[in-house]
Amino acid sequence: MADISRRSLLVGNLTAPLARRTLPEETEPGLREYAARTGLLYGAAAAWPALRDDEHYAQSFARECNILVPENVLKMGLVHPEPDAYRFEPPDFMADFCQRHDMRMRGHTLVWHQQIWPWLKTHVNAQNAQKHLEQHIHTVAGRYRGRMHSWDVVNEAIHLPDGREDGLRITPFLELLGPGYIELAFRAAREADPNAKLTYNDYGLDYDTPQQEAKRQAVLRLLRRLKERDVPVHAFGMQAHLDWSEFRHFKPETLQRFFREIASLGLEIYITELDVSDRDLPDDVAERDEAIAGVYETYLKAALGEPAVKAVLTWGLTDRYTWLAGRRKRASGTPVRVLPLDREYRRKPAWRAIRDALRSAPARTA
Ligand code: XIL
């Protein structure tokens, strides 16, 4: 047996049976096929090193996805851990993986206030911040020039609780460079990769509540301002981290109205980080899976009604690897069931919900 397959049996949950050597057999095509039929992309965030070491995980991506986004390895602090050192091996592996499996790739993310350069505090100041940021963007986005479907250039730049009139989050780059850091990042990204769709990505915009409405308005103001200044921004990324217990606040019309406004600015829309927390649902698996599937289906049917929505990515593919396992632990300690595939790579009701939403989406023209 080749080394790699032995290793893959050892990763993941050691209490799970180690017997499975092939993926569950399926008679139905993968989600990528349903997406492609309507001119859409479906994909997921890929964890490292699982994509390299767990062959069933890799096979599931190949089967289900026609787009992939690295969950962490392109973030500032991971890809650029020292002022003069980059770590490209993980994202290079993912880019090659995408090429081998005829998948597109998204870049996530060039500028964010989290998982930031560990050397920022010791090396970066108001005098050199622009140079460092431009160098980072030129180097990272430049390396994948021509190979990225899209790039999240700036992530989560709006945060109303920070109290600024323009709604911008107070981040290291805002403090070092002022609000112009956003424009600067998009222009540098355009120089580095003129073909990628440059995206502004954010969260907390899904529900019909006063807070989320205020944030939607702030995002729209930001996007309008960028367009007015001819900044190269091509798309909006809707993270869509949902929670079953909050979903009563969801109104399809509200989401659609927001998407219409974004589309009217000439932007594409991607659902970039969709997942649905099951934290407050009962343990019963069948009941829980149905409830989570219902959220996926309702949300996606509303979202895909907007023709500007061109891609759907879930934030992970299998319950074996999901940030919600740590972030939204269940009180009873039972493992979360929040993604399309279960821990053994079997398709769940959430998978069928996504399939149905993709299948009933109006065909995309471009
Ligand atoms: C999360 C990853 O899933 C975790 O593994 C990591 O520890 C923290 O970041 N919004 C984003 C993503 O834009 O980058 C975040 O990803 C989830 C929230």
Residues 233-281: pLDDT tens digits? 999 999 999 999 999 999 999 999 999 999 999 999 999 999 999 999 9
Q: Do 222 and 256 fall within a single domain?
A: no
Could you report the per-residue pLDDT of 133-184, keeping only the tens digit for each? 999 999 999 999 999 999 999 999 999 999 999 999 999 999 999 999 999 9
Contacts of 178 (CB under 8 A, 6+ apart): none
Is 273 part of the annotated catalytic residue set? yes
| Set 183, 273, 297, 306: catalytic member | 273
Which of 233, 261, 296 corresponds to the end of one domain?
233
Q: Do 143 and 209 fall within a single domain?
A: yes
Give the Å distance between the CA of 74 and the centre of ligand 1.
11
Angle among Cα 154, 155, 157 to the nearest 5 degrees reads 90
Q: Do 251 and 228 fall within a single domain?
A: no
For residue 274, the 8-state DSSP code is E
pLDDT over 50 (residue 8): no
| pTM (two decimals) | 0.94
Is 156 part of the annotated catalytic residue set? yes
Check: CB of residue 75 under 8 Å from CB of residue 48.
no
How many structural domains compose the chain?
2
- CA distances 239 to 10, 57, 80, 160, Å, are 32, 23, 24, 17
Q: Do 222 and 152 fall within a single domain?
A: yes
Is residue 116 assigned to a domain? yes
* Domain membership of residue 220 as a residue range: 106-233
Pairing outcome for strands 41-46 and 309-314: parallel
- Report the CATH number that the domain containing residue 279 is assigned in CATH: 3.20.20.80
Could you report the per-residue pLDDT of 70-101, keeping only the tens digit for each? 999 999 999 999 999 999 999 999 999 999 99
One-letter identity of residue 148: M
Give the Å distance between the CA of 365 and the centre of ligand 1.
32
